[in-house]
Structure 1
Amino acid sequence: MSTMRLLHICLILLFSTEISSQHCDLLSFQQKKLNKDSLELLEKMGGNFPFQCFNEGIDFKSMQDVLKRQSSQKENVKLAIQNILQEIFTVFSKNLTQTAWDTISIITFQNKLHQQIERLEACLGFQKEKDGTKMGSDGLVLTKLKVRRYFQGIYNFLEEKQYSLCAWEIIRMEMTRCFLFVDQLTKSL
């Protein structure tokens, strides 16, 4: 009887591994779809860029410049995407009271980001188990550090501008650029 249970558990694990593998094989397609949805939600949540904010621009270094020497290994690209999405999620979890943005769009946007992050984490974990690799190489740590430093500039900008409507609108446009870069990274998966 216990042998049957053990066999049953082994079969479940075997099939769940296969399902996880297939889920990760579709990651690029799913990521493209979720990126597109996120871009549409970013546009929808704020509408047109307010005229009074045109004079308050700041030129952030593009994410592409920040990660210009990004390795082409798929795990590195996945980790870079995951870090960028996690930081975007954190940005949109900050003080949004002065934005006057559509609350439903913000919540939907946050949920989509959370979905993307979870899928990437699952695939990174699955890949790590499958290959027996350690996800702590110098390149991966450097990528995470560069992404964090880039977003620290965004947090500093929001704080300096006291989370004003114009500051948020500028950040919303900057996050659009980040999603376009994530889309480029996704194409390399």
Structure 2
Amino acid sequence: YFLPDCIDIITTSRCLLHVCLTLLFSIEISSQLCTMLHFQQNKVNKESLELLKKMSRIFPSQCVRERTAFKPTQEVSQLPLFQKDNAKMAMQEILQEIFNIFSKNLTQSTWDGISIVRFQNRLYQQIQQLEACLKAQMEKDLTNPESEDLQRTSWRVKQYFQGIDGFLKEKQYSLCAWEIIRVVISRCFVLTDKLNRSLSN
């Protein structure tokens, strides 16, 4: 009469073993991706910045007077995000916010459509790589994603990009507003490059 229970126990044990092995295998793959993260991000970061420049090679003359219209409370280069432990989180947050910004109303811009699509694809690729690495790191090190340091990093980045979003809304996503923000976003890639280099130190 105890045979069915034994079979159930064996089946359950095998299932648990399969789940554990699958989890360990996925963590190992993600860990390998993390090892190559610096090189991958360096390559894709340069490609993204180049595509951003290709969208509009010349700053429109009619927008020159408005060039200083966007006044953030803090320059992106001054954001205190350079703790090595938070570098991946900061990069992921910055790239996600850039992706969100460039998924908004672009109808008034005169940018090259192919470059925009490629730029969005590169951003998505970077975000996916960072998310996979962060997940593996948190599972391996038991890092709390709601820790005070990580929350502070996320808040600082979001606050900065809220200013960009507010500026675009205020200017009704005009051509000049987008051109100004394109220049601002290029500085963000300078920051992500610095963060990426900190991972190799």
* TM-score when normalising by structure 1: 0.89
Letter in 2 for 1:55: R
Aligned to 2:115: 105
In 1, the alpha carbon distance for the partners of 2:157 and 2:197 equals 19
Letter in 1 for 2:84: Q
Letter in 2 for 1:113: L
Q: By how many angstroms is 1:161 displaced?
A: 1.1
Contact in 2 for aligned 1:41/1:105 (Cα 8 Å): yes
Aligned to 2:84: 73
Following TM superposition, where does structure 1 have runs of at least 4 consecutive aligned residues deviating by more than 3 angstroms? 2-17
1:174 to 168, 174, 184: 184
* TM-score when normalising by structure 2: 0.84
Figure out how many residues of one structure are paired with residues of the other and give that number.
186
1:130-141, aligned counterparts within 5 Å?
A: 130-141=140-151
Q: By how many angstroms is 1:12 displaced?
A: 5.6
Q: By how many angstroms is 1:14 displaced?
A: 4.5
1:141-180, aligned counterparts within 5 Å?
A: 141-180=151-190
Contact in 2 for aligned 1:158/1:167 (Cα 8 Å): yes
In 1, the alpha carbon distance for the partners of 2:38 and 2:25 equals 22
Could you tell me which runs of 5 or more consecutive residues in structure 1 were left unpaired when the two chains were aligned: none
Letter in 1 for 2:172: Q
Q: Are the structure 2 counterparts of residues 26 and 55 from structure 1 closer, same or farther at C-alpha, using a change threshold of 3 Å?
A: same
Q: Are the structure 2 counterparts of residues 154 and 5 from structure 1 closer, same or farther at C-alpha, using a change threshold of 3 Å?
A: closer
In 2, the alpha carbon distance for the partners of 1:5 and 1:137 equals 33
Aligned to 1:47: 57
Contact in 1 for aligned 2:171/2:177 (Cα 8 Å): yes
In 2, the alpha carbon distance for the partners of 1:129 and 1:145 equals 23
Three-state SS of the structure 2 residue aligned to 1:188 is helix
In 2, the alpha carbon distance for the partners of 1:9 and 1:139 equals 31
Q: Are the structure 2 counterparts of residues 91 and 134 from structure 1 closer, same or farther at C-alpha, using a change threshold of 3 Å?
A: same
Q: By how many angstroms is 1:135 displaced?
A: 1.5
Q: Are the structure 2 counterparts of residues 28 and 114 from structure 1 closer, same or farther at C-alpha, using a change threshold of 3 Å?
A: same
Contact in 1 for aligned 2:92/2:131 (Cα 8 Å): yes
In 1, the alpha carbon distance for the partners of 2:139 and 2:17 equals 22
Could you tell me which runs of 5 or more consecutive residues in structure 2 were left unpaired when the two chains were aligned: 1-10
In 2, the alpha carbon distance for the partners of 1:23 and 1:180 equals 23
Of the structure 1 ranges 4-13 and 128-137, higher mean CA displacement relative to structure 2 is found in: 4-13
Q: By how many angstroms is 1:73 displaced?
A: 3.0
